[in-house]
Amino acid sequence: MAKVVTGIDVGTYNVKVVIAELESGRSAPRILGTGYAESRGMRQGYVLSVPEAARSISAALNQAARAARVRPKRAYIGIGGLGLEEATSRGEVVVERGDSEVTARDIPRAVAQARAALPPAAVLNRRVIHEIPLRFFVDGARVLGRSPVGLKGARLAVDMLFITALERHMHDLVAAVEEAGVEVDDVIASPIAASFVVLSKMQKRVGCVLANVGSETLSIAVFEDSIPISVKVFPVGGADITNDLALGLRIIPEEAEQLKHGAILGAPFPKRKIDDIIARRIADMFKLVETHLKKIHKDELLPAGVVITGGSSALTNIAEIAKSSLRLPSRTASAAEALARTLELRDASWAVACGLTVWGGGEGASMEVASAENATTPLSSTWRWLKKFLP
């Protein structure tokens, strides 16, 4: 029996809803309907007004429901904005069995120790939404492969990546969706949701960075060995380019926005000047990305380079500027991607909403990401994921 899954991407400028059907034997969801509405009550990914945000979500949901001829009751939502952060820690435990063989029971204990080792500032007023095991160690030696079960040693250690969101923002976002008449099944970091659609297995395996250029934020997810190893959000986006054009050319923001997208023909400004203003701001954005890659020791070390998505990814020469700034291969995500083509993705700005439906189909487990949002205990969701790979 087919299952209907709904993904809701609440951005600063617009809300996108995708209703898809999951069929057995089909590699990707089949889109039944989509909805789009202007966002209200949002700022840099934060919910400023729950009632206004709920009205925008409701409008997009109604449009998608009419197209799909299905009224969704539950949904997966993406969370981004400046409240998204990461923290890493290590947990180490003594192996339980007397013969020193690592068992499945040792893994959640090690994960619990890693969570307990997080500095208080990393979890103050925050909610962990993803718990990602990066690597395991047995007696100090790194484990090659997915699972340490069956190996022998006195101690088991795990390096963990925790992705957190501001608890207040998360509560407000869930409240807005529920006020629109839909229950929330799970909350997923938007950069990770987008990766299901625009990144290939090969890109994730060899190493790449997915850059989502939104209206007021730039979010990145760095992948290596098929798992996300870092997530970061910067307070810059397409609106900053619009503001630069408005100030540099002495024009109103509305005109600058049209000029940015090439919607004004025969504009009384030198094209070279317009391109220079846009290029300078884009270069500044990717300098922030470069600084972060240096911090995690991955600058110039990601063979698959940078893949650019989001509402501002269609800007002229953005891929070339990213290539020059990061000294990595660079390209803009498009509907040419295999999964995006299967999903009939309109453009890269729909990647998050479509990716949420893929997550709802269970693909999150294959990405080695465990959501902690609906966990009954801090470890239960991580353990449910780990059991999929243990013998």
Kindly state whether residue 56 falls inside one of the protein's structural domains. Answer: yes
- For residues 174 and 49, state if they share a domain: yes
pLDDT at 387: 42
Q: Return the C-alpha torsion angle 218, 223, 226, 229, nearest 10.
A: -100
Find the helix or strand (DSSP H, E) in which 208 lies. strand 208-213
- For residues 174 and 52, state if they share a domain: yes
Sign, CA dihedral 70-72-76-80, equals positive
pLDDT at 176: 95
pLDDT at 27: 63
- For residues 177 and 149, state if they share a domain: no
| DSSP of 287-310 | HHHHHHHHHTT-TT--TT-EEEES
Q: Which two tokens stand for residue 2?
A: 């087919």
CATH of the domain at 241: 3.30.420.40
Kindly state whether residue 69 falls inside one of the protein's structural domains. Answer: yes
From first to last of the 391 residues of the chain, give the pLDDT tens digit.
Answer: 578 999 999 988 889 999 999 877 666 788 899 999 999 988 877 889 999 999 999 999 999 999 999 999 999 999 988 889 999 999 999 999 989 999 999 999 999 999 999 999 999 999 999 999 999 999 999 998 778 999 999 999 999 999 999 999 999 999 999 999 999 999 999 999 999 888 988 999 999 999 999 888 999 999 999 999 999 999 999 999 999 999 999 999 999 988 888 767 667 888 889 999 999 999 999 999 999 999 999 999 999 999 998 878 888 889 999 999 999 999 988 644 545 555 556 567 888 999 999 898 776 554 443 333 333 343 444 444 444 333 3
Question: What's the domain count of the chain?
Answer: 3
Residue type, 279: A
Kindly state whether residue 341 falls inside one of the protein's structural domains. Answer: no
pLDDT at 10: 92
- For residues 324 and 259, state if they share a domain: yes
* Residue appearing with tokens 């390209």: 331
- For residues 98 and 42, state if they share a domain: no
Distance in angstroms (rounded) separating the CA atoms of residues 363 and 170: 23
Kindly state whether residue 196 falls inside one of the protein's structural domains. Answer: no
Kindly state whether residue 195 falls inside one of the protein's structural domains. Answer: no
- For residues 312 and 240, state if they share a domain: yes
Distance in angstroms (rounded) separating the CA atoms of residues 366 and 170: 25
- For residues 221 and 325, state if they share a domain: yes
- For residues 24 and 128, state if they share a domain: no
Distance in angstroms (rounded) separating the CA atoms of residues 143 and 71: 47
Which residues form the domain of 238?
201-332
Kindly state whether residue 257 falls inside one of the protein's structural domains. Answer: yes
pLDDT at 82: 85
- For residues 217 and 262, state if they share a domain: yes
The Cβ of residue 291 has, within 10 Å, a number of other Cβ atoms equal to 12
CATH of the domain at 102: 3.30.1490.110
CB 292 within 8 A of CB 220: yes
pLDDT at 343: 55
Numbers of helices and strands, H then E, in the chain: 13, 17
Task: Kindly report the pTM of this predicted structure.
Answer: 0.86
- For residues 367 and 377, state if they share a domain: no
Distance in angstroms (rounded) separating the CA atoms of residues 358 and 327: 32
Distance in angstroms (rounded) separating the CA atoms of residues 281 and 290: 14
